[in-house]
Chain A
Amino acid sequence: MKKISITIFLLSAFAFILSPIATSLSIAFSPDSFLTIPTNNWTFKWFYEFFKQSRWTEALIRSLIMAIGSTFLSLATGTPLAYAMTRLNIPFKNIIHGTILLPLIIPPIIIGMGALPLFYMTRLNGTLIQVVVMHSCLLLPIIYLIIKNKMQSINPDLEKIAMGLGAGIFETLWLITLPLLFPAIVISGICGFAISINETMLAIFMVGPTNETIATLTWSELKQAPTPLIVVGSIINFGAILIGVVAIKIASIKS
């Protein structure tokens, strides 16, 4: 009896949590742009439509470039930082830690508003570089926290042994620390990619009308007249994340 009540509770809870996503998904596969339940006609019509319209496919390519670029930029800056914060002697560690976590606390709208005059003055406004830089600042604290967590669980003696045997600090990093950190780097990279490709609020401030990504197209459609194409775009983004995960899994099995 108790078990049944728990099951019913959980089922209703998850029906509650997943219902908006399920509604959106069913709109993507239904022939009309309005969904009437119950329906028996499911089509892939909107997916063909998506790849026929050049503004959506171009936005998809831009989204991918943006997400990959910002993931790499934040990994390139976040990994050395996490290493330095756990292993090396740095003055004002607490202040640096707090500063790095600022993007988690300040709402994206305010970050976007602040960066608007900055890029306006440097004449970089409306380019894809701007979005990549701003997104990598948003991803930096998350990547930093994940890698720092992994870094703390690696035995520091391994590095000391390598250095005692005559390796320099960069040689030790390349041959010992990085291979041990690799799983955490991959996981944080996937998280970063997923966040960047779906991030909207900073993107609408940063992306000009000539450089729309999927997220900003979704935004402008949702403000005026939403079509099922926005859901298709999101499904394809999700597919891109899944492809990344599977590719990395296969690569790790092979090596």
Chain B
Amino acid sequence: MNKKSIPYIFIIPALSLITLTIITPLILMIRVSLLKPPEGKGFYIPDTFSFQNYQSVFDSYGISILLNTIFFALEVSFFSILLSFGFAILIKKLSNLWRIICLICLLLPKFINPLIIVFGLQRLLGNHGIINDSLINTHLINEPLDLIRTHFSALIGEIYLTIPFTSLFLFSQLNSIDKEIHNAAIGLGASNYQVFRKITLPLCYPGIFIIWQLCITWNLGSFLGPLFLGNPSDTTISCEVYHQAFEIGNWPRAAAWSILMTAIIIAFLLIPRLTISYMFKENSK
């Protein structure tokens, strides 16, 4: 066997798997998105060419879904990073045993089907759910509160699905900060708040930036929360893709939406990164 070909033997299986499952479908999807939508039969009309799917993606309904998705992703990532930063700081203060227990509790939702979390939330927040029932039983309210099928419940659902990742990541980020810096600041007379504001937070900025980007990319694809817990006006692109592909059977439209979504995600990944590297270049001059 030729010695030069050895590295390629190691990488070819994985690369062919990725090519088969990600890259070919993406290219195929561009072609499918340019086909004409079906007229009652099949999933598309083969051997046609038109831009009408992209036109229908950018009509007024399409644009409202688009803005909704981006706004929803920003909201979820903001709240989940805020909450999990709090968790990370609290967990860091605990003794070792309790820290491990807390981390296991955080990880547990990831070993359970996310649908079960959604189901639990439905039973918790529903009109005859636990919260409403117990409030009515204690005569605090007379009518059940509208908790489910609102923007709030969709938000809560998605936060539940995101928080384990963000808090673990921020926890490891906080843990990697050198303890001596903290001690030095305290020794020089800084208060706890000052240490947090002037030392801990600035050292966490790079980590927060990375996790913010990951959060955005995950939640641009948020699906379960808006579909099961949100009201119809909270539809996101993922719900629309599912709706078009399965319930209507209009594959070209679904493919057009998917292409648009991939473009948005790549933009959200690249633009902040490029801006920051450009800013640092300006500074170092």
Contacts and interface: CB of A to CB of B under 8 A. Distances in A.
Contact of B29 (A76, A108, A117): A117
Interface string B83-96: 00011001101100
Contacts of B111: 194, 198, 238, 241
Contacts of B181: none
B223 A109 contact: yes
B163 interface: yes
Contact of B258 (A84, A102, A110, A120): A110
Interface residues of B, number: 72
B102 interface: yes
B22 A106 contact: yes
A113 B221 CA distance: 13
Q: Which of B18, B238, B242 has the most CB of A within 10 A?
A: B18
A77 interface: yes
Given A17-B105, A17-B163, A201-B223, A114 B258 contact: yes
Contact of A81 (B14, B86, B91, B217): B14
A116 B7 contact: no
Interface stretch (A45-53, A54-62, A131-139, A156-164): A131-139
A148 B18 CA distance: 17
Contacts of A90: 7, 11
A249 to B, nearest CB: 16
A77 B108 contact: no
Q: Which of A103, A108, A109 has the most CB of B within 10 A?
A: A109
Interface string B124-139: 1000101001100000
A226 interface: yes
Contacts of A230: 115-116, 119
Contact of A113 (B15, B105, B255): B255
B109 interface: yes
A14 interface: yes
A6 B220 CA distance: 34
Interface stretch (B59-67, B168-176, B203-211, B261-269): B261-269
Nearest to B30: A114
A177 B265 CA distance: 38
Contact of A77 (B17, B32, B119, B217): B17
Q: Which of B17, B20, B220, B254 has the most CB of A within 10 A?
A: B17
B99 to A, nearest CB: 11
B120 A137 contact: no
A84 B24 contact: no
A226 B126 CA distance: 14
A219 B115 contact: yes
Interface in A77-97: 77-78, 80-81, 83-85, 88-90, 96
A222 B118 contact: yes
Contact of A116 (B23, B122, B251, B269): B251
B272 interface: no
11 contacts: A23-B121, A24-B119, A34-B128, A73-B17, A84-B11, A106-B262, A110-B262, A113-B29, A114-B22, A215-B113, A234-B116
